Structure 1
Amino acid sequence: MTQPVPIRRAPGGPLLATALDLAARTIPVLPLRAGKVPFGNCPACRDNACGGRPNMKTPGPCHCPRTCHGWAAATTDPATLTGPAWAPVWEQAQAVAYHPGGAGLTVVDLDHPDAIAWARQHLPATRTVATTRGEHWIYQGAMQSANAVRDGVDIKSTMQYARWLGPGTSILTALPDAVRALIVKEPPSVRAVQHAVGGSAPAGSGQCRHRTPSYLDRGIAMAAQQITEASSAVHATVYRTFLAVLAAHGRCGCLADAHVGRLFAAAQAKGEGPRHCQDAWTNARTRLGL
C-alpha cells in the first residue's frame, strides 16, 4: 500500500509568506512575538537580550552594526526576512507588522466603537481594516506618529509599527489635514504665556535691539525649527532651546506672547504637553535667575 506523502510546510509558514508578499510591494515588515512585541533582527538581540528598547530609533545599549529594534527593524529585503537571523524567528512569530511611514502611509488606530463613530463624523472615508477592538483607517501619506490624540485614537506612521491585519476594504484616500491636525495642540493662552514670560518689559528698559525682525524673529524661527527637527530626547531639546532663548531675550522684555506661543506650539507638536512646556520654561527661567 502506498504511503501518503507528508505535507511539507514552507519554512517560516504563512506569516513569512505574507511578509514576503508585502515586502515585494515595498511595504517594510517585521515579525511580532506574543504581546505584539518585536523581535531583534540579529541573534545577539533576539528577545531583546541585549537590552535594546523597542520603538527606539537606535538599538539602545547594545552595539549592533545596524538598527534592529521595533519599527526600525522593518525591511523590504527578502534576504533579511529569510536570512539566518530571522529564519527561526518566523516559526515563533505571532503576527506580521509593518512600518506605515516607510510605506508612505498613516494609520488612524480607532480602539473602540465611540472612536469609530467619531471618525465617521469627522474624517473622510478611506481604506478600513477591522481590528480586535476597533478599526484601522489607512491614508496615503506619512506624518509624525502620536498616541492618544483623543480618546481611543492613535496615529501610527513614521517611527511606529502597526499589525498587518489584511488589505482592508474601500479606496485609499490621501492623508487629509483633519488627521494632521490631530497631533497639533492648541498654543497656550495669552494669559498663560504672559505668566510664563514673567510679564512685560521692565519699565525704562527702552527700545531693545532684539526687537528688530532680523534678530528676534530669526532667533525664534531657528529655536522652533530646532525643536521640530528633534528626533530623540525631545524633552531635553525643548528645555535647552527654552534656556537659549531666555538667555538671549529673557532680561530685556522683548519676548511677546506670539514668540513664546510659537515655541510652546512647536514643543506641543512634538508631543510635549502644556504642563511639560510650562515646567521646562519655568526651570529655564530659574536656572538663569529670571
Structure 2
Amino acid sequence: MSITRRIFAVAAVVGAVAIGAGIAGAQAPSFFRIGTGGTAGTYYPIGGLIANAISGAGDKGVPGLVSTAVASNGSVANINAIQSGSMESGFTQSDVAYWAHSGTGLYEGKGKVEDLRLIATLYPETIHLVARKDAGINSVADLKGKRVSIDEPGSGTIVDARIVLGAYGLTESDIKAEHLKPGPAGDRLRDGGLDAYFFVGGYPTGAISELATSSGISLVPINGPEVEKLLEEYTFFSKDTVPADTYKDVGETNTISVAAQWVTSAKQSDEVIYNITKTLWNDATRAALDAGHAKGKLITLQNATTSLGIPLHPGAEKFYREAGVLK
C-alpha cells in the first residue's frame, strides 16, 4: 500500500472512531492535515501529538475535526503543499516561512506565498557553529580563510550561514566554503579536512554529541553587537543559549536560533483556526506534549507569538489576544 493510501486509510479509521464517539454528530468530520518531516526527525512525532490532541474527544479536542500528521520533506515541501491546497497546515522553520512570505532567500525569484499565516511558534532550532577543537576559531570573525561547510545550495542553513557571516563583515569568498550536509561535514571535521560547519537544529543533536565525545569540538558563540544588529534586521531570529555540557567538555555558548513554526493558509476559516489554537493550549494538550517528546516541554504559550516573521492567522490572533499573550 502506498504512503498516501495508508494515510487516508488511517484517517478513515480515525474518522469512524470520531463519529462513533459523537464528536461530529450527524455531520461528517472535517480533515486537517499537518505536514511534518521525515519519520526519524522531530517534526513528525510532535505533529502526531498535536494531531491527536486537536482530534481528541469531548472538550479536549475540536468538535467535528479529524487531524493527521503526514510525513514530508520538511519546511519547503510543507509550504508548497499549503499553497497548492494539498495540506491544510504544516511545520516549517521561521526563516523559511519569512522567505516564502516575502519572496526572498530561498524564494528569491519564485514569487511570494502571501497567504501564509502563523498558528504558533513551537520551539527553537539552534544555529550551531561547530569547530574543530584545535582550529583556533573563537568567534565568527575567525572563520576568515578557514575551511567551513555552510550546507548545500537550496538548504535553509546556507542562507542562515550567509546572514551570520555577513553580520561579521564576511562573505563566502572570505572563507574556503564547502557545501556538505551535516553528517559528511562532521566526518570531514573529525578527519581534519574541515575547520568548522554550520548546523541548524535542536540541541542536543546526536551527531554533534558523538563528535564531541569521539574527537572533541568547540561551539563558536554567535553574539556581540554584530548579532544585536542582525536581530533588528531579521525578526525570525532569536537569542539562544546552549547550556554547559550539552556537548562533552563544551561550556555555555551564546548563539541565535530560528523557530519551528506551525503555519497554515489565510484561506482557512477564522473559526477553525481559533478552535485549533485554543485546543493546542488547553491542559490536556499541555500534558500530552510534556509526556510525549523532549521538545514538547519547550512548546509554551509564552513563546507562541515570538519570532514573528509572517502574520498570525486572524483565528489564532483572536485566541492570543483573549489569552493575554498579545496586547
TM range (shorter): under 0.3
Q: Greater relative contact order (Cα 8 A, min sep 6): structure 1 or 2?
A: 2
* Structure with higher strand content: 2
TM-score by length of 1: 0.27
If you compute each CA radius of gyration, which structure gives the higher value, 1 or 2? 1
